[in-house]
Amino acid sequence: MTSHLKKVELHCHLEGAAPPVLTEAQARKYGVDISGELRDGAYVWHDFASFLECYDKVSEVYRTEEDYALLTETYLDELAGIDTIYSELIVSPDHGKRIGLGADAYISGVCEGIRRAKAKSGIEARLIVTGERHFGPESVIGAAEYAARAGNPLITGFNLAGEERMGRVADYIRAFDIARDAGLGLTIHAGEVCGAFSVADALDAVRPARIGHGVRAIEDLDLVKRLADLGTVLEVCPGSNIALRVFPDFTSHPLRRLKEAGVRVTISSDDPPFFHTSLEREYELAAVVFGFTDAEINAMTRTAIEAAFVDEETRQALLARL
Ligand SMILES: [Zn+2]
């Protein structure tokens, strides 16, 4: 139903997008037994702790610069195949360090994947470097410094992800100052695991242009109005929210209520195969489950391009393609 619509994705974690077929091939290549985490072409987990374990196990089979080029290229090819014209991928140079590959080789592999995919389909992609709050403020500052110093034109944003219940956004202000001074776009995971207060926290401490999820802002109608007044863009990932039981079902999901309250909302897939979803399915859900018309969905895609962390020339070219 939405297959004819152009698509844009602002919120997707690179390792979280690893296609099961590619992960299987990688596991064979490295002789890793992944049968506990990957069965019948799908990732297997049952609660938040086992989701994180599964995610780590899958990440383990992507080890070299070429592995990251292949992973990035494969996911972007998949997106281009459903008429996606722009994608922002959340990446963690720290992850590159932790697996012994090194931050530079990790990023360079990802950038090679972006170039290969763009050469085939024209899909544009940019990278959002993320700090992980469960590794503490120093590690997040390190990630911001890396992003700021990289001088890589494909790195255009900075994010804060990881365990939302660890610390408050105020503990990470320094990292966001570094990223802002370097001209990077800012976004913060909030209002997913934690309630409306975490969204208010993000606005008070950093006031990012975008918020990852932010859907639990619906618990505080004054906050919803504040988001609408500020024009803060929410990167909403409905399939992820239902898979992680942020809301019990799509009927109680606030995407439509947020939009009707004037909040600028967009649609993304987060960690698609882990949540048995895809960007294609998220667009389908917007139409079939949330009842948005093609024009309303196109308006959300336009909002995503307006909020994309790209130079103005690229933004205008993307708007022209819509
Ligand atoms: Zn996320």
Instruction: Classify residue 79: in a domain, yes or no.
Output: yes
**Pair 35, 84 in one domain:** no
**Pair 84, 37 in one domain:** no
b/e per residue 43-63 (b: at least 16 CB within 10 A):
bebeeeeebeebbebbbbbbb
Rounded to 5°, angle at Cα 65 from 64 and 67: 60
- Residue 279 C-alpha to ligand 1 middle, in angstroms? 14
Rounded average pLDDT over 97-124: 97
**Pair 54, 109 in one domain:** no
Annotated binding-site members: 11, 13, 189, 270-271
**Pair 96, 32 in one domain:** no
Reported as a single tens digit per residue, the pLDDT across 35-76 is 999 999 999 999 888 898 999 999 999 999 999 999 999 999
Predicted pLDDT at 1:
77
- Residue 181 C-alpha to ligand 1 middle, in angstroms? 24
Ramachandran angles phi, psi of 284, nearest 5° = -60, -45
User: What sign does the dihedral 259-295-298-7 (CA atoms) show?
Assistant: positive
Domain of residue 228, CATH code: 3.20.20.140
Predicted pLDDT at 246:
94
- Residue 162 C-alpha to ligand 1 middle, in angstroms? 8
Q: How far is CA 270 from CA 18, 39, 178, in A?
A: 11, 21, 25
Tokens of 232: 């803060």
Crossing angle for the helix pair 65-81 and 20-30, to the nearest 10 degrees? 160
Return mean pLDDT, the chain.
Answer: 96
**Pair 80, 227 in one domain:** yes
User: What percentage of the chain reaches a pLDDT higher than 70?
Assistant: 100
Predicted pLDDT at 280:
98
The domain of 36 spans: 20-61
**Pair 38, 129 in one domain:** no
Reported as a single tens digit per residue, the pLDDT across 186-236 is 999 999 989 999 999 999 999 999 999 999 999 999 999 999 999 999 999
**Pair 131, 198 in one domain:** yes
Q: Catalytic residues, which ones?
A: 192
Closest alpha carbon to 172 in 187, 154, 184 = 187
**Pair 56, 203 in one domain:** no
**Pair 86, 174 in one domain:** yes
Instruction: Give one DSSP letter per residue of 67-98, joined into a string.
Output: HHHHHHHHHHHHHHHTTEEEEEEEE-HHHHHH
pLDDT band at 245 (very low <50, low <70, confident <90, very high): very high
Instruction: Classify residue 279: in a domain, yes or no.
Output: yes
Instruction: Classify residue 1: in a domain, yes or no.
Output: no
Instruction: Classify residue 2: in a domain, yes or no.
Output: no
**Pair 28, 86 in one domain:** no
**Pair 11, 26 in one domain:** no
| Contact assessment for residue 5 and residue 289, using Cβ atoms and an 8 Å cutoff | no
Domains in the chain: how many in total? 2
**Pair 147, 228 in one domain:** yes
- pTM more than 0.85: yes
Annotated binding-site members for substrate: 271
- Residue 214 C-alpha to ligand 1 middle, in angstroms? 11
Rounded average pLDDT over 175-180: 98
Reported as a single tens digit per residue, the pLDDT across 265-293 is 999 999 999 999 999 999 999 999 999 99
